[in-house]
Amino acid sequence: MLSRRFLLGALAGSAAVLASGVDVAAALAAPSGVDARDVATANAGRSPTQWGMTLPGIVTTFATSGRQLALTFDACDRACDDALLDTLAHHGVPALLFVCSKWIDANPGRTEQLAANPLFDIGNHGTRHVPLSVTGRSAYGIAGTHSAAEVVDEVWANQTRLTSLLGKGPVFYRTGTAHYDDVAVDIVHQLGLVPVGFSVNADNGATSAPTSVSAAYQHAPAGSVVLAHVNHPEAGTGAGVAAAIPAMQSAGWEFVPLAGQRLA
Ligand SMILES: [Zn+2]
């Protein structure tokens, strides 16, 4: 049987995406009130029917009438691309930074430091950086979680850690590899988080050359959620971002926080 607390948490999470003109402010303000164990129990034994990066319930774009993009960067593990972050700060560009527990371990103190900058919003990028599956599906050779309980653990351990570090829980979640099954998407919502994908992959896992990264930003349609990485300072991502942003701002493009947008 579902507890009242579980139902309220599930409703709060669903409302964040299902309503058109999503009220992320309400999601931000909502008390967590979620019992993660109840969520795992309620979803145990469910069979998924879909797998991928663009399933219903995953945010990949937002509604805009102008030349606006929302930039997101994943901090999966390893290092911190300080030059890229300096570029964003220098140009006043807001960004949603998805932080994994492995990256927090490798960069102690940085998450709190980044969160203190009003330009940056911290999202949850998982605990072990694995795809969210209830059947053990994998993506890019990375094995996913094997059950509803493991999905909950992957989301909730890092959520609890980030809540402790930042004094409030992140609103947005992106899996390691950005892959989910449909049961996992439901679970993320029931935990009170909004699953986020992307509509433009700007750096292909931090493997693209600067010219390619810059072109990806400059060709992104208005309303795109753009994905790149902030954990590979040796990659072409930072130089590509540094080339694209001033050119785009001069051309009238605006970079906006994903929070507060009408998500789709
Ligand atoms: Zn990642």
**Where are any strands of DSSP class E within the chain?**
51-52, 68-75, 95-99, 120-124, 138-139, 142-143, 172-173, 180-181, 194-195, 200-201, 225-229, 254-255
Give 44's DSSP letter.
T
The CA 121 to ligand 1 mean position distance, Å, reads: 16
Predicted confidence at residue 7, as pLDDT, reads 36
The CA 4 to ligand 1 mean position distance, Å, reads: 34
Distance CA 185, CA 133 (A): 9
Contact between 122 and 166 under an 8 Å Cβ cutoff? The reply is yes
64-116 pLDDT, tens digit per residue, is 989 999 999 999 999 999 999 999 999 999 999 999 999 999 999 999 999 99
Distance CA 124, CA 119 (A): 17
Strands 142-143 and 138-139: antiparallel
In the chain, what are the domain boundaries? 4-255
Name residue 52's amino acid.
G
Name residue 179's amino acid.
H
The CA 177 to ligand 1 mean position distance, Å, reads: 6
Distance CA 46, CA 141 (A): 24
The CA 209 to ligand 1 mean position distance, Å, reads: 19
25-60 pLDDT, tens digit per residue, is 444 434 468 999 999 999 999 999 999 999 999 999
The CA 2 to ligand 1 mean position distance, Å, reads: 33
**Angle at Cα 24 formed by Cα 34 and Cα 64, nearest 5°?**
150
For residues 189 and 1, which has the higher predicted lDDT (pLDDT)?
189
Predicted model pTM: 0.89
At 37, list the tokens.
């164990």
135-181 pLDDT, tens digit per residue, is 999 999 999 999 999 999 999 999 999 999 999 999 999 999 999 99
Does pLDDT of 21 surpass 90?
no
Distance CA 88, CA 204 (A): 20
For residues 32 and 186, which has the higher predicted lDDT (pLDDT)?
186
Beta bridge partners of 254: 68
At 220, list the tokens.
């992104």
**Angle at Cα 193 formed by Cα 130 and Cα 202, nearest 5°?**
55
Superfamily of domain 4-255 in the CATH hierarchy: Glycoside hydrolase/deacetylase (3.20.20.370)
